[in-house]
Chain A
């Protein structure tokens, strides 16, 4: 090929890669436009304060599903975040040798386990013995998904704390426990929070692990051993229903859900930024 031909070919390929990048934005923009145009009309005060209405009755909202999602996520965080964060601290501060590589590797592999399989896991451990779909089983399933992500991000963040800080603390006669908790973890706190928020953003849209654990509920749940509604479950149920009115509600629910997920993602981005500004 001659000189000019090669240059033209190169330019054409640069253009082709640009087109790839633009093509991928098409579904993103389409999804966002549809969510807003179809959902915004039904997102009103009723949506946040009312229970779902039966078929045929207009109006109603997803109050129980929103509260249900928040409760499920809160309970999942309650047990899974300590495991993930302190597990990550262990890997960063004490993790040497092949044994900790086993933990790292398992965590990475656990991230790849299909969420529906985690649903079966929680079903077998909680729903079968308790003979009922429940809040607890749903919170367990979401927690299993939270652990590997928080574990690995915490390890990476805590590792970036300069080793001189630890040496200085130890030289002052502070014991290892206080050094790790009050110096190292405190320094890395905004980074750890970022990891936690990203993990929560990831699981807050999860539907598959809740299908046969939290199960969904058309009314308020009275206890942790009852089935409970969740926003993604409600969106799913409404989307596959044949009713026009429920479809509208599904779009509204989806708009609220994506608002929550994007907000969490943005907050964590903001935290990351301030952290780097503080250090550099």
Chain B
């Protein structure tokens, strides 16, 4: 529908333009001025994006020149000796986000299927609205809740339990602090569930009804219909939704900063405090005293920007191609 409506949209615009050309040339000057005015404003958003990238590149240049690629795989972060490397921070960012995906993806799939296919119609709308409320809660409030509600529960109940029964795994060893990688993963998963589930739901809704009816008519149960008719054509769209969620998790700042514990260490244990790129910047940027320190933090931001941009671009292309391909099927 996206592709086809865009095509007819262009046709509409062309018809309007030809109408204007055929008509009296009244007000042509003001029309042109208006077109240029709105055009400049529209393009200024592109200008902002380009400026954003260039500014970050320029400000991080001292750090890029000083450390080169070693910035990415050195684990030393020493503000006094002015040696900066963000390997532990990259590790913390990736692991906390992957942890979030492990919790969020199955739940989001369940929600999306329930809300688009299996749930009773009367419950779908209110439930979808409630889940969208989760997306409206500001990050800092998730952090507040994380500090005072989630972390104490993790410290006193969940982590001792995991340590006792699964302590043989390196993931669940060490003392229970409450704050740490596990807390960050859980908070992030709650924050990205609305993103992943709502996009997946929209993807499922693009599946033509005749395909589903066909599966049911051939004797499939409701779940088999999902497996046979709904999931396979949605696969790359779901991947796109997951990548958009991942992009959000990687860049999430406040809630993570408040519960991850902020420590420059690589530890296999999920109970240990860690650091992410965004929380590193949030914590240290206004304390950075030397130009090189600031440049290193800006370079961290640049790395974060590049990673999230690539993820977002891949995700958008995937979601877009699915909605186009599915609509191509004559329904």
Contacts and interface: CB of A to CB of B under 8 A. Distances in A.
B46 interface: yes
B16 A170 contact: yes
A105 B48 contact: no
B252 A114 contact: yes
A21 interface: yes
B251 A115 contact: yes
Contacts of A258: 137-138, 141
Contact of A265 (B10, B20, B42, B136): B136
A142 to B, nearest CB: 13
A177 B31 contact: yes
A167 B147 contact: no
A20 B118 CA distance: 12
Interface in B130-184: 130-131, 133-134, 136-145, 147-149
A151 B131 contact: no
A34 B149 contact: yes
A211 B287 CA distance: 11
Contacts of A265: 133, 136
B140 A235 contact: yes
A178 B115 CA distance: 43
Interface string B23-45: 11011101101110111011111
Interface in B96-133: 106-111, 113-115, 118-119, 127, 130-131, 133
Contacts of A148: 45
Contacts of B248: 112
A257 B146 CA distance: 17
A211 B282 CA distance: 7
Interface residues of B, number: 98
B148 A94 contact: no
A9 B113 CA distance: 16
A257 B305 CA distance: 28
Interface of B: 5, 9-10, 12-16, 19-20, 23-24, 26-28, 30-31, 33-35, 37-39, 41-46, 48-49, 51-52, 55-56, 59, 106-111, 113-115, 118-119, 127, 130-131, 133-134, 136-145, 147-149, 190, 193, 197, 221-224, 226, 244, 247-248, 250-254, 258, 278, 281-282, 285-286, 297-298, 301, 304-305, 308-309, 311-313, 316
18 contacts: A14-B223, A17-B110, A17-B118, A24-B111, A25-B130, A30-B149, A84-B45, A112-B309, A112-B311, A117-B56, A120-B298, A124-B55, A147-B48, A163-B15, A171-B19, A173-B26, A175-B28, A257-B140
Given A21-B110, A24-B193, 10 more contacts: A9-B223, A34-B149, A86-B41, A103-B46, A110-B45, A147-B48, A206-B138, A207-B140, A235-B141, A257-B140
8 smallest CB-CB distances across A and B, nearest first, come from: A205-B138, A114-B251, A20-B110, A175-B27, A10-B221, A87-B42, A112-B312, A90-B38
